[in-house]
Structure 1
Amino acid sequence: MKTFRSRQGLTHALFTLVIGFLACTALEQPTFSEEPAVAPLMLPEFPSPQLANLADRLYVILEKQSHYLLGLVKPWNGDPRYKLLTESRSAEHWIRPNTGAVEAFCFLYRFGPYDEKLVGMSRATLLGDIIVPMIRYLTETHVTGSRPTGDGRKWGDAWQSAHWAQMLGRGAWFIWNDLPEDLRSAVRRVVRHEAERIAHSQPPAQLRGDTKAEENAWNAQILSVAWLLMPHDPQADQWMSQFQRWTLSAFLRPADQNTTDEVDGRPVAEQFTGANIFDDFTLENHGFVHPDYMSTFTLSLGCVTDFRMTGRREPQSVLWNVRGIYENLKWFILPDMGFVYPSGQDWTIFRQPAWLSAHVLMFVYGRDGEAWDLATQTVGVIEKMQARSPEGAIYDPSEFFFPSTQTDIAEALARAWLHLHFADPAAIGTYQPRLGAKHLRFGKIFLYRTPRLITAISYGSVIMGTFTPNQRDRLISPDQQSLVGSIKLSGNTRPLPVKLLRAEFSEKKESFQGILHISHGDNVIAEWTINGDASGQVCIAEKLVVQRDCTIQEMATGLIGVLNNQRWIFEQGKREIRLGSVSKTIPAHSSVRWEAPQTDHVGIDHMMEIELFPPRDVLYVGATQPERGRATDRLILNHLSGPRDFHAGDVIAEWSATIRPTPRNAE
């Protein structure tokens, strides 16, 4: 089976000879036109059948996803010369989906064993009826163009517009010789404008709350794409110099300010522009340690393929600190190929396709054998997700709310196919799931992994704990009130603010203990003790002591978020819940409210058993619909309805729970 064939239909052997000839020349000189040449694209064959097979799977997934996306493309104001797949507006949610789709469509037009039946149109139609009108729309409505978008403004010069422009530019590079000359000039105009803006800016840095790692990594990309389109430009050397600077800046740690290690011929300390990640290779975004943003090294590392396809050596800066970050992600990974979220998740938790790039890039350019295994497993998950949709969409509408979700994965699939051409089959290996304790002291996260259960405790800006079965149906939702729960005073609709007073963790060979003292406002202190061992059993104990007289309207501690989704591939659309001696089937999105007084036993879908001592008033509240891309039922192990008066020194509750996972496969 052929794994690569050119659009023009050259035989595989002839195409290989042409590539070999081009590989001898660093830059193609213009011959038939005075227009400056773009950098020539040189793509070797896949280096092994294993790699070719994985690439074939990626290509088919992209063809199906593109079939879905092409169904969204429409003329702008009825004019078929301009097309887009969103409303016409100038901000991220309306430009980024279109530039991402353009890159994916351009890739399909140029590369691979194109199947008209899967995509839904011929390559010629894809170019003439889709790609050209979309590029025309995007270049005309940029700040360098002549027309505003439908909201009366042009796009560009925005915090993320360099990221959008690099997708447009790289897609155009793929098919450069088949674009009309006016569009080639227009694309160069857009890319130059955004690249010059970044090249003459200083890479920002921020450690707490809102890292600049992602922004610096995405801004670096436009400098790489500018060189691809304009390698003879007087600014080309500066773009490459700034590319090195921005990529290094993205993932600097505080410790790098003093390191003598050299990157690209100079000590890192001399190149230090400020830290964006902690010394334990974690980072904060959206106000807490966020694994999703730890994966954003893919934005800058992905540009290595730009260098390899043009016969150049990439700077060392693209891998600085990346291996340490990726090792952390291996501790967060679950069998469903998603992440444990120790500090909660404000995006959806079903973002497995988004992590494909990290695994592929770390396998190809980090030579990480485990990443190969994780990449192949992730592809299997993506295939299962896509199989639900007759149109070819990977994500179900209930699983996402970010407008670029479906186009981002299309662009990522295209890039992954290209990356794999530069892999070394000798690096192929097997992932070994991490077991034992991992204490990320700067990120203030404690993880304890066993074959049956993963305990995650966050004690930084978000204070919470989760106990997630180590299997494909993860069962547990990372609610940011998990474990700690909430206390509301009479007359208040909002719960008391939670603050950490003390956190201690001790580890032995096959066990751990965590002690957390937490205040609920000035009124109540919660003393938590958490013990776990290698069997996967965890014992939690809470003592709630009143600090000042108050009237409590509701106490809801010992919170466990239970995932209950209708369409997720590893769930059944229902949960079997047992409170005491009573069992019920709780359909997804049920809105049920089930109160069970003086309960000593809880069972969750034959996957988790919880023994309570002494018996507690337990509450189960079913989700009405998905929120933030998932439906979370809420199980409260220690519930009290008020109003109830308490005095300083009163012990509101003192209880414990033993949690035992009971693994069940859910394919």
Structure 2
Amino acid sequence: MQNDALEIDTLPGDIAGATATSQNIVLRKTPDGAAWTVDVQITAPIAAAGQKVGLILYSATSPSAKEYIFTGRIGRASSVLRRATQYQRKSMQRSLAPDWNELSAAGLPTTWWQRIVFDGRTYTCFDSLDGVTWAIVGRPVPVADSTYSHLGVYAATSATEVITATFHSMTLTTSPLAPAVRQPRPWVTTAGLALPETTTVGSKLLGILRGNTKYNVGEWWSTNWAGQDAQPYRTFTGVNEHSIRPAACAAFGITSLLFTGYWDASIGMSEALGRVKALRLAASLAYRHAANEPDGWGFQLQSGMWAALAGQAAWLQWHHLAEQDRQNVIRMVVAEADQPIMTEPQFWKDAAGVEVYPGDTKAEEMAWISMIWQLAVAMLPDHPHAPVWAQRVIEFHAAAWAKPADLKSTGVLHGQPVPGYLSGSNVSADGTLENHGRIHPDYMAAATLTLQSGILSALSDRPTPAAAVRNIGSVWAALSKVVFASGPYDAPGGTIYKPGSAALYYPEGNDWSTAGLSTRVMDKAAFDVMVSSFDLDGTVTPNAAAWADLHLGAVVALQARDSTGQVYQSVGEDKYLNPEQWISMNAAWAWLAQYVTGNQLYSVSNTSPLSYL
């Protein structure tokens, strides 16, 4: 100790893997039953490869069973420093993407600050050059991955040159633990996992999402938000669907790239500026919601879906949001979850098979109504209303894609006989359904709204409810297997998915795009990807991955017509008023489905609804 500072040398040694040769690691127990923040000012003239100085969280029952988080600086060759956060669990060392920045040691101050924050659910690492302005280093580590028994300082080297590291003014502050937002699991890349971009489907999907993001942060942003960049919150043109939903979809699409670490130069904007725009959209949507602003948007037919998309965009970048924006998001999510447009499922046909709503399945509505409860359960498992939300998720999932046979099923779903959830059906026995007075492929593909439950469950470190995937494989299979005869149906007849082609057949016409066009294909591609990712296609051939490749290829070709990243060039190609943001939503769901399955985060369970909290 010198002048109230701890000086330790970077003696040779390491703790990576099963190694336990470090000589200078100074530890104390972490506080019990409290949130805490540890700060320290560090001086260390790091100049050689292998010199490592910083803060550390540590647990070990043996050298081969230790777990730790190190955050600090690591010397590299040629006078380069790494600003790094490293993470080890079960003898496997990983870097938390975005794992580090490489900095030139020349002219870089040899004094800096490190911080680790524990909020009861995650450990988050920061550094600073002045002790005032802090930047996150790496991604937060959830408690689900490890609970660290000790914290302290660490100095080591694999080089011959030993330096002295000085740790000044170390402080540890605590605060009571409170019900907190469960943050999404970070993507911790591990050798051997099938990363999305390495597959043909994943590569096409990534290109579509990047192009769509380029359009949203570029031309679309300039058209809609010109003159508002100086304002902390965007002003929307109204409170209806076409004022709010596009912004929520765009925020979700942009954020899915940021969260997974796949931003690149093709977007035409720095990642930092892209994040600013995504944060502004998500924060503005929450701020303008009626739970936070008088006469704001919300509490209408589809607003739970918009709040779910906006809330997911905020949740996936939670550690970047200001505290006031976090509270606005929580109020928005809770308000929509507590005041849904309906609390009991509806059905297209009753138990006798009579249409209650002629030509109008309730499958899609049950799916999008449940989205806000899916998010609320994932984000706020400790909220006193979470058990109610979890039960409603199961009930609406079970109803959304129910078939007539389910009314006589002897199966048990989440502790209750399947018929106990149902008073009718929303899907025909062959997997097709009707909406807009016709057999409608677009509303069969709307099963993605239910399948996104798999993404939220995986990112909140919970299994997906079995109700979320029930019957969806057969709905998808109907797209390529049910044959419609010409005569009762439009010529030339056949299957909705045309063998060897990305073109689509609409048995009774397509009211979402001009007759003869097969341009509204991104939702089918997303459905294919999600069915493939969640292994719901069974033995159907061609399988979902093959269809995804065809349909994504069609979207790639449409997008290639314009350098802006947009897919559509005329209203007739997609009559929805905000088709590019519809692309955002579908592409993001497909990409995140590949992400959670590629990182082995996805599983399914048929347990009690309360087990998902």
TM class by shorter-chain length? Answer: 0.5 to 0.7
CA distance in 1, matches of 2:329, 2:147: 20
**5+ residue gaps, structure 2:** 1-82, 87-92, 100-137, 149-172, 350-357, 482-495, 601-613
Q: Secondary structure at the match of 2:231?
A: strand
Alpha-carbon spacing, 1:79–1:126, altered in 2? closer, same or farther (3 Å): closer
CA distance in 2, matches of 1:121, 1:83: 21
Q: Which moved more, 1:188-197 or 1:56-65?
A: 56-65
Counterpart amino acid of residue 273 in structure 2 = T
Counterpart amino acid of residue 301 in structure 1 = L
Equivalent residue number for residue 409 of structure 1 = 583
Equivalent residue number for residue 232 of structure 1 = 382
Conserved? CA contact 1:84–1:98, under 8 Å: no
Equivalent residue number for residue 396 of structure 1 = 569
Q: Secondary structure at the match of 2:230?
A: strand
Equivalent residue number for residue 362 of structure 2 = 212
- Please state if 1:41 is matched with 2:179: no
Conserved? CA contact 1:144–1:190, under 8 Å: yes
Higher relative contact order (CA 8 A, sep 6+): 2
- Please state if 1:59 is matched with 2:206: yes
- Please state if 1:378 is matched with 2:541: no
Equivalent residue number for residue 426 of structure 2 = 276
- Please state if 1:168 is matched with 2:314: no
Counterpart amino acid of residue 414 in structure 2 = D
2:245 to 96, 117, 125: 96
- Please state if 1:353 is matched with 2:526: no
Counterpart amino acid of residue 261 in structure 2 = G
Conserved? CA contact 1:169–1:191, under 8 Å: yes
Conserved? CA contact 1:211–1:277, under 8 Å: yes
CA distance in 1, matches of 2:299, 2:146: 32
Provide Cα deviations, 1:100-158, integer angstroms capped at 9, x if missing partner: 0111122233222321x322222222233x2333234322332213254xxxxx32111
CA distance in 1, matches of 2:429, 2:547: 25
Matches within 5 A, 1:312-331: 312-331=462-481
Alpha-carbon spacing, 1:61–1:9, altered in 2? closer, same or farther (3 Å): farther
Conserved? CA contact 2:196–2:594, under 8 Å: no
Alpha-carbon spacing, 1:228–1:81, altered in 2? closer, same or farther (3 Å): farther
Alpha-carbon spacing, 1:15–1:51, altered in 2? closer, same or farther (3 Å): same
Tell me the CA shift for residue 372 of structure 1: 1.1
Equivalent residue number for residue 245 of structure 1 = 395
CA distance in 2, matches of 1:321, 1:183: 38
Provide Cα deviations, 1:398-433, integer angstroms capped at 9, x if missing partner: 41221232112112222222211344799xxxxxxx
Counterpart amino acid of residue 237 in structure 1 = P
Alpha-carbon spacing, 1:63–1:242, altered in 2? closer, same or farther (3 Å): same
Tell me the CA shift for residue 391 of structure 1: 0.6
CA distance in 2, matches of 1:124, 1:33: 33
Q: Secondary structure at the match of 1:55?
A: helix
RMSD: 3.1
Equivalent residue number for residue 96 of structure 2 = 15
Counterpart amino acid of residue 15 in structure 1 = L
Matches within 5 A, 1:333-372: 333-334=497-498, 335-348=500-513, 349-368=518-537, 370-372=543-545
Equivalent residue number for residue 131 of structure 1 = 278
CA distance in 2, matches of 1:194, 1:9: 40
Alpha-carbon spacing, 1:187–1:243, altered in 2? closer, same or farther (3 Å): same
Alpha-carbon spacing, 1:76–1:49, altered in 2? closer, same or farther (3 Å): closer
Tell me the CA shift for residue 329 of structure 1: 0.8
- Please state if 1:203 is matched with 2:345: yes
Alpha-carbon spacing, 1:345–1:10, altered in 2? closer, same or farther (3 Å): farther
Q: Which moved more, 1:412-421 or 1:90-99?
A: 412-421
Counterpart amino acid of residue 377 in structure 1 = L
CA distance in 2, matches of 1:375, 1:33: 49
Conserved? CA contact 2:311–2:329, under 8 Å: yes
Alpha-carbon spacing, 1:340–1:27, altered in 2? closer, same or farther (3 Å): farther
2:268 to 100, 104, 120: 120
CA distance in 2, matches of 1:9, 1:418: 26
Q: Secondary structure at the match of 1:390?
A: coil
Conserved? CA contact 2:311–2:375, under 8 Å: yes
Provide Cα deviations, 1:514-555, integer angstroms capped at 9, x if missing partner: xxxxxxxxxxxxxxxxxxxxxxxxxxxxxxxxxxxxxxxxxx
Counterpart amino acid of residue 308 in structure 2 = Q
Counterpart amino acid of residue 404 in structure 2 = P
CA distance in 2, matches of 1:84, 1:146: 13
Q: Secondary structure at the match of 2:464?
A: coil
Tell me the CA shift for residue 198 of structure 1: 3.0
Provide Cα deviations, 1:423-479, integer angstroms capped at 9, x if missing partner: 4799xxxxxxxxxxxxxxxxxxxxxxxxxxxxxxxxxxxxxxxxxxxxxxxxxxxxx
Counterpart amino acid of residue 497 in structure 2 = I
The TM-score, its normalising length taken from structure 1, stands at 0.57
Conserved? CA contact 1:257–1:269, under 8 Å: yes
Alpha-carbon spacing, 1:254–1:50, altered in 2? closer, same or farther (3 Å): closer
Provide Cα deviations, 1:554-586, integer angstroms capped at 9, x if missing partner: xxxxxxxxxxxxxxxxxxxxxxxxxxxxxxxxx
Conserved? CA contact 1:336–1:381, under 8 Å: no
CA distance in 2, matches of 1:271, 1:307: 21
Provide Cα deviations, 1:363-388, integer angstroms capped at 9, x if missing partner: 12134370011112222222111111
CA distance in 2, matches of 1:26, 1:166: 29
Aligned length: 410
CA distance in 2, matches of 1:40, 1:183: 15
CA distance in 2, matches of 1:124, 1:35: 31
Counterpart amino acid of residue 103 in structure 1 = F
**5+ residue gaps, structure 1:** 1-7, 149-153, 427-667
Counterpart amino acid of residue 431 in structure 2 = F
Conserved? CA contact 2:228–2:234, under 8 Å: no
Alpha-carbon spacing, 1:27–1:132, altered in 2? closer, same or farther (3 Å): farther
CA distance in 1, matches of 2:473, 2:522: 20
CA distance in 2, matches of 1:330, 1:13: 42
CA distance in 2, matches of 1:425, 1:262: 30
Alpha-carbon spacing, 1:241–1:13, altered in 2? closer, same or farther (3 Å): same
Conserved? CA contact 2:532–2:544, under 8 Å: yes
CA distance in 2, matches of 1:174, 1:237: 23
Conserved? CA contact 2:279–2:321, under 8 Å: yes
Tell me the CA shift for residue 241 of structure 1: 1.4
Conserved? CA contact 1:27–1:39, under 8 Å: no
Q: Write 1 or 2 for the structure with the bigger share of strand.
A: 1
Alpha-carbon spacing, 1:90–1:311, altered in 2? closer, same or farther (3 Å): same
Tell me the CA shift for residue 299 of structure 1: 0.5
Counterpart amino acid of residue 158 in structure 1 = Q
CA distance in 2, matches of 1:339, 1:31: 60
Alpha-carbon spacing, 1:155–1:19, altered in 2? closer, same or farther (3 Å): closer
CA distance in 1, matches of 2:85, 2:552: 29
CA distance in 2, matches of 1:32, 1:395: 52
Q: Secondary structure at the match of 1:81?
A: coil
Provide Cα deviations, 1:463-507, integer angstroms capped at 9, x if missing partner: xxxxxxxxxxxxxxxxxxxxxxxxxxxxxxxxxxxxxxxxxxxxx
Conserved? CA contact 1:247–1:300, under 8 Å: yes
Matches within 5 A, 1:465-504: none
Counterpart amino acid of residue 340 in structure 1 = Y
Conserved? CA contact 1:76–1:83, under 8 Å: no
Q: Secondary structure at the match of 1:337?
A: coil
Identical residues among aligned pairs (%): 27
Alpha-carbon spacing, 1:49–1:227, altered in 2? closer, same or farther (3 Å): closer
CA distance in 2, matches of 1:62, 1:344: 29
Tell me the CA shift for residue 252 of structure 1: 1.3
Equivalent residue number for residue 264 of structure 1 = 414
CA distance in 2, matches of 1:186, 1:160: 20
CA distance in 2, matches of 1:262, 1:20: 38
